[in-house]
Structure 1
Amino acid sequence: METYQDSALRDDVKKAVAELGFIKPTPVQAAAIPVIMESDRDLVALARTGTGKTAGFGLPVVNDIDTDINAVQALILCPTRELCLQIAKDLAAFSRFRKGVNVVAVYGGAPITHQIKDIKAGAQIVVGTPGRTLDLINRKKLKVGQLKRVVLDEADEMLNMGFQEELNSILGATPEEKQTLLFSATMPKEAKKISQDYMTDPAEISVGHSDAGNSNIVHQYYKVRASDRFSLLRLLIELDPDMYAVIFCRTRREVNGVAEDLRFAGHAADALHGDMSQAQRDDVMRRFRKGRIKLLVATDVAARGLDVSDLTHVINYNLPDAPEVYVHRSGRTGRAGKEGTALSIVTGKEVRKVRDIERYSKIKFEIKEVPKQDDVYKIRALRFADKVKNAKLDDKVAAFLPEVIETFDGMEREELIQKILGYGLGNLSKQLSGQKPIREAKDDDRPDKKGRNIDYTTITMAAGRNKGYNVPQIIGMINRMVPGKKIAFGKIDIQNNMTYVGVDSKEAKKVVAAMEGAVDKGTELNVRMFEGGTKVDGPRDFAPRKRKPFKPGGFKKKKKW
């Protein structure tokens, strides 16, 4: 199958494909479509994000719908509402010239009565999230007795999100005689069990992994200390004011913090994560797609189904633990033949993750020198000057040109240029003036004061400066609550309502277990392993503190009451 016109697709589906601008199928489409259409065999397809898998299963699904049968004939399951809506939108585009093919999306966070009404009106294809789909089946509003095909899209992510039981229940309710298609980026043991329990001798294809580096994406990373992540992010954004990017963070709290700090710095940024209401998420995505938001800070799960073809950058504020997740993330840029850049901010100890990704995906990373503020000023000044040079004078302004020229009378050329640059870059100077220089991280852990090389793991507790904590109090409290020998501490970062503590990795689980349910100063500490891995790393600085000279009579007697 070299072109869509060579395929066994119906003419009205080929016409829709042609109007969408599809000519040559992607590798996953070329491999999957013939298997799905030319046999009733089940299929397991390993394909990363951005490889065109929606068309790989969607075109055969739309092609084979019998419009004379008023029943659901195809069920497509996916992990998130965003992906559900995107798949439904794509299938509607594929079927635009097929009269009588109706696609209905069902998902949580929206009135179920509306979805029931749409199904009753006649739906041959249902695209749904597992929870809402099972709910509709249990209510007997979604009847699956005449299903011909079931598609599990992003199966690994559905399992990661805890939908194992829902998937088992849904698949158990479907007819035995059907074609089951499982699409996944990875094949965890749970997905293998699904293929063993609910599929018969499936064909297997794997594309998009070994050739992950052969794309229009440039992969780069910067190595800095954990505490300098945000400072570097700001500089990278200032270096490229036209950046249109998704910034991936690990946790919802970090997503909110980074998005808020970017807005405070004057950037059009917003957050996307699972704690937001569906209406909030829809609003953020609408503004991002329209370009009103240029920087979207998101978690991996929330960004599932995100399909924006013009992204210039994907930024990994934190590298993911799994190499395949990195490939998923980076695949969101460099689409539709356009060039894209995947930037990663890593600490010294995280460089090993870069090497893991290189081995897994055949991607080659380029390490970049950490930019300085002077680099930002220079690039922005040259870009601003170029824009001024190429600006066209409006006719209405031209009428007042003599008076404007008179305003600058007596100024030297260099002075005038300085004034223009000062006016054009004044806000940039204010934003960066208080930022400290960024320090490059080292690959190796530094020894502690006893000369031991210790690997540190970060734990968090839900209390900080708002409860009056300082570093000695944090250390003393943990040592009191953890039995046995004293713990080796790394850096300790006390924020307003959260504290990050680096502890000896060998003792980290012991500390968390010992402090389970701990209450101090009337506050439940909620001690946990930090999901981001290493927010604070390396030993503390043990330089002796300067003591104030002792003054005779310096102590005051306490008053007696």
Structure 2
Amino acid sequence: MTTYEESDLRDELKRAVADLGFTTPTPVQAEAIPIILADGKRDLVALARTGTGKTAGFGLPTVNDIDTDIEAVQALILCPTRELCLQIARDLDTFAKYRKDVKITAVYGGAPITHQIREIRSGSQIIVGTPGRTLDLINRKKLKLENLKRVILDEADEMLNMGFQEELNSILGATPEDKQTLLFSATMPKEARKISKDYMTDPAEISVGHEDAGESKVVHQYFKVKGSSRFALLRLLVELDPDMYAVIFCRTRREVNGVAEDLRYAGHAADALHGDMSQAQRDDVMQRFRKRRIQLLVATDVAARGLDVQDLTHVINYNLPDAPEVYVHRSGRTGRAGKEGIAMSIVTGREVRHIRAIEKYSNITFEQVPVPTQKEVYKMRALRFAEKIKAATLDDKVAAYLPEVMDSFEGIEREELIQKILGYGLNELSRQLTGQGEIKADNTQEKKKMDRGSGSYTTLSIAVGRKNGYTVPQIIGMMNRRLPGKKINFGKIDIQNNLTYIGVDSKAARKVVAAFEGAQDKGQDLNVRIFEGGTNVDGGDRGGYGGKKKKQYRPGNFKPRPKFGAKKKKHRKG
């Protein structure tokens, strides 16, 4: 199948695809559609990353095969999040443009179940649902599966990562045995393989994954700076491209909020998206982002699952993800449908090895880009401002007062007038960038062991940062006040907007966390934890890039060392 016209899809589906401007199927569509359509019986396991067109890969044949004479559920599509659920339903509605009698219903938590039940009763033939709400409807006997012909598990790996194993087992166990089962996943963890073994019969397997990631039209760039300069660099990147329409990925919810707030303060249309937000808040943010009232969406990976926004110009990794496949997922959100996109990553010198691991994994080639300077930003903005002034037209209402305005400029030379116009137009940018300071490049070539203490450092995170007024001496003083009389070696201290990372002697890490349990400073909860995010400022590799993963300790297990002479209590696992 090299074109949609060559496929066995109904003419109505071919017309709908043509209306979308698509003529050539993506690799996953070219392989999956013929298998699914062959006789409607062959099960399929498809390994496909985000941005490969997998929704059309299973959506077109599903809409194609619906028997419109039967007003009952014939296809069930399960996906991990509400956002993805709604996106799939919208796509299927588009595919069904000329099959007017095909009815699609999305079911998900956070919305009135009574409304969803009414839609199902009205004759829905395709249900797109999240596992929790779908199982609820089955248990209530409102979602009946007697006529079910096809089950599709989309992003199966993510559903399993989110803890939906039991729900998936229960749903699949309630479906007819003679159905067709399609499993789409970016990776194939053992839990997904078990689903394939338990609920599928001799499935065909196709893989359109990481090996073709380097063939897309996405340009992959990275900038190497000190950790403390991440936001300063992000700010300059945004200023250099005022038309940027981007998703910015951060590691933690706190960091998402901080970066979004700082971008708004700098005058940019930015907002946050993370799991602590209510569903109504998330829906509002996504609606504004799709309408481009928000140009910069700062998000965590989990919150951005199912995010399918057209024409993204950039994906920016404020922090690299833990695993290479996650990077491929992130970058796949731009450069879609044959369009060009840019994926930027902000890394420290020690994190460059993660870039190399992604290149090896995905056939992607990264370009190291020089860190832009404030002078470059000023020059670009000044020239762009001049172009806008040249292109501006005078409104008739204002033109009536032109002679008086010109009189007010009498005596000012041409060069001086241009300087004043430029100064007025760029004054706010100059004020903000002047207070920001220059970006510090990171010339670290490779991670080197510390030559003091035990030689091994573990990174702790503290829930305060630059915005709380902390400096390196204040952080050290706070640590010393909480650890009187204890000689502990500290490594690098990286103070960010809302978080501080500090390297401590690995042998003392548990002791430090225990000493800070429930601690406050300046009325702020410190929430000291071992940083499990994959970036270890002074210690061994914490990420999923091939390094040996160290055992992670959780704060609940930390107990202070008993005083000398006291009876030693038996350690109890937490």
Distance 1:456 1:378, change over 3 A: farther
Q: Contact conserved, 1:250 with 1:531, CA < 8 A, in 2?
A: no
Residue 353 of structure 1 aligns with an amino acid whose one-letter code is H
Deviation at 1:345?
Answer: 0.4
Deviation at 1:459?
Answer: 1.7
Which residue number corresponds to residue 551 of structure 1? none
SS of the aligned residue for 1:357 comes to: helix
2:520 corresponds to 1:518? no
Once the two structures are superposed, residues 210-249 of structure 1 have per-residue CA deviations (whole angstroms, 9 ceiling, x without a partner) of 1211222111010111111111111111111111111001
Residue 268 of structure 1 aligns with an amino acid whose one-letter code is A
Q: Contact conserved, 1:268 with 1:294, CA < 8 A, in 2?
A: yes
2:331 corresponds to 1:326? no
Which residue number corresponds to residue 177 of structure 2? 176
Q: Contact conserved, 1:309 with 1:336, CA < 8 A, in 2?
A: no
Residue 189 of structure 1 aligns with an amino acid whose one-letter code is K
Residue 21 of structure 1 aligns with an amino acid whose one-letter code is G
SS of the aligned residue for 1:425 comes to: helix
Deviation at 1:446?
Answer: 5.8
2:421 corresponds to 1:409? no
Which residue number corresponds to residue 77 of structure 1? 78
- Correspondent of 1:443 among 445, 448, 462: 445
Query: Which residues of 2 match residues 81-160 of structure 1 at below 5 A?
Result: 81-160=82-161
Distance 1:197 1:479, change over 3 A: farther
Deviation at 1:536?
Answer: 5.1
2:447 corresponds to 1:423? no
Deviation at 1:19?
Answer: 1.8
Once the two structures are superposed, residues 362-398 of structure 1 have per-residue CA deviations (whole angstroms, 9 ceiling, x without a partner) of 1111101111111111111111112222323334434
CA distance in 2, matches of 1:33, 1:456: 52
Which residue number corresponds to residue 471 of structure 1? 476
Residue 232 of structure 2 aligns with an amino acid whose one-letter code is S
Residue 304 of structure 2 aligns with an amino acid whose one-letter code is A
SS of the aligned residue for 2:213 comes to: coil
2:31 corresponds to 1:3? no
CA distance in 2, matches of 1:471, 1:427: 35
Aligned-pair identity in percent equals 72
Residue 443 of structure 1 aligns with an amino acid whose one-letter code is Q
Deviation at 1:525?
Answer: 6.0
Distance 1:388 1:43, change over 3 A: same
CA distance in 2, matches of 1:323, 1:174: 35
Deviation at 1:462?
Answer: 5.1
Query: Which residues of 2 match residues 98-497 of structure 1 at below 5 A?
Result: 98-441=99-442, 442-445=444-447, 448=450, 450=452, 454=455, 456-461=457-462, 470-475=475-480, 477=482, 487-492=488-493
Q: Contact conserved, 1:479 with 1:487, CA < 8 A, in 2?
A: no
CA distance in 1, matches of 2:178, 2:389: 68
SS of the aligned residue for 1:363 comes to: coil
Which residue number corresponds to residue 19 of structure 1? 19
Which residue number corresponds to residue 545 of structure 1? none
Residue 35 of structure 2 aligns with an amino acid whose one-letter code is V
CA distance in 2, matches of 1:38, 1:12: 18
Please, which moves more after superposition, 330-339 or 246-255?
Answer: 330-339
CA distance in 1, matches of 2:66, 2:72: 10
Once the two structures are superposed, residues 496-523 of structure 1 have per-residue CA deviations (whole angstroms, 9 ceiling, x without a partner) of 986533224x5477457x7299344699
Once the two structures are superposed, residues 77-123 of structure 1 have per-residue CA deviations (whole angstroms, 9 ceiling, x without a partner) of 00110110010011111112213211110001111111111111111
Distance 1:469 1:374, change over 3 A: closer
Deviation at 1:405?
Answer: 2.9
Q: Contact conserved, 2:228 with 2:496, CA < 8 A, in 1?
A: no
Which residue number corresponds to residue 529 of structure 1? 530
Deviation at 1:448?
Answer: 4.5
Once the two structures are superposed, residues 314-342 of structure 1 have per-residue CA deviations (whole angstroms, 9 ceiling, x without a partner) of 10000111111111111111123322111
Distance 1:282 1:478, change over 3 A: same
Residue 435 of structure 2 aligns with an amino acid whose one-letter code is G
2:62 corresponds to 1:57? no
SS of the aligned residue for 1:212 comes to: helix
Residue 461 of structure 2 aligns with an amino acid whose one-letter code is T
Distance 1:496 1:281, change over 3 A: closer
Deviation at 1:535?
Answer: 7.4
Deviation at 1:64?
Answer: 0.7
SS of the aligned residue for 2:459 comes to: strand
CA distance in 2, matches of 1:313, 1:497: 24
CA distance in 2, matches of 1:306, 1:367: 28
Residue 20 of structure 2 aligns with an amino acid whose one-letter code is L
Gaps of 5+ in 1: 540-561
CA distance in 2, matches of 1:331, 1:533: 22
Which residue number corresponds to residue 45 of structure 2? 44
Residue 479 of structure 2 aligns with an amino acid whose one-letter code is I
Residue 515 of structure 1 aligns with an amino acid whose one-letter code is A
SS of the aligned residue for 2:105 comes to: strand
Deviation at 1:261?
Answer: 1.0
Q: Contact conserved, 1:227 with 1:535, CA < 8 A, in 2?
A: no
Q: Contact conserved, 2:458 with 2:539, CA < 8 A, in 1?
A: no
CA distance in 1, matches of 2:195, 2:484: 47
CA distance in 2, matches of 1:508, 1:36: 57
Distance 1:507 1:79, change over 3 A: farther
Residue 113 of structure 1 aligns with an amino acid whose one-letter code is T
Which residue number corresponds to residue 571 of structure 2? none
Number of residue equivalences: 532
Deviation at 1:402?
Answer: 3.3
Q: Contact conserved, 1:41 with 1:202, CA < 8 A, in 2?
A: yes
Deviation at 1:175?
Answer: 1.3
Deviation at 1:524?
Answer: 7.9
SS of the aligned residue for 2:215 comes to: coil
Deviation at 1:349?
Answer: 1.2
TM-score using structure 2 length:
0.87
CA distance in 1, matches of 2:366, 2:32: 31
CA distance in 2, matches of 1:408, 1:82: 55
Deviation at 1:70?
Answer: 2.2
CA distance in 1, matches of 2:500, 2:391: 51
Deviation at 1:357?
Answer: 0.9
CA distance in 2, matches of 1:305, 1:334: 16
CA distance in 2, matches of 1:59, 1:528: 47
Q: Contact conserved, 2:270 with 2:295, CA < 8 A, in 1?
A: yes
SS of the aligned residue for 1:358 comes to: helix
Gaps of 5+ in 2: 541-574
